[in-house]
Structure 1
Amino acid sequence: MIRLLVILLVIVIVVLVLMMIRMRPSPPRSAKKQSPQQESPREILKRRYAAGEIDEDEYLRRMSGLSQDW
């Protein structure tokens, strides 16, 4: 009878430990999918201008738009 109770207790403990492990939040899978800090609109414009995605006129126009208080 005591052996059966010990076996049952071990099974309950194992199940509880497994449940606690599964309920724990998992860490992010890759740093590329989640950036720790988002780029500001100014940083995005600077990067796009440096990469040649937008020309100087577009860069200056959009930067001046960001400088205005709405």
Structure 2
Amino acid sequence: MMMYWYGRGMSGWAWFWMAAGNLLFWAALITIVVLLFRALLRPGAHLGGHPGWSAPPAPGSPGAEQILAERYARGEIDEEEYQRRLGILRGAPSVPVKN
């Protein structure tokens, strides 16, 4: 005597919902694992935990001064702006802008 199956077993819809539930479960589990993996291996995650800090630039990538020089060379910023920002990058006190 089968108490819960009423002698017929699972219907086609029950198999469908069981398969769909399994797919959703594994998709959610894999997504969580990937997001955790990416969050733990993100550059700058090991520099004290402050979210605003970032890792030093990778070797071969342009530094801030090089990017600033390229912007000046392309004419995106004028000499005054270039000197002001370069001074800030190098830690010099900022010079007030003359109007």
User: Which of the two has greater helix per residue?
Assistant: 1
- Larger gyration radius, structure 1 or structure 2: 2
> Relative contact order, CA 8 A, sep 6+: which one is greater?
1
TM-score, with normalisation over the residues of structure 2?
0.32
TM-score, with normalisation over the residues of structure 1?
0.44
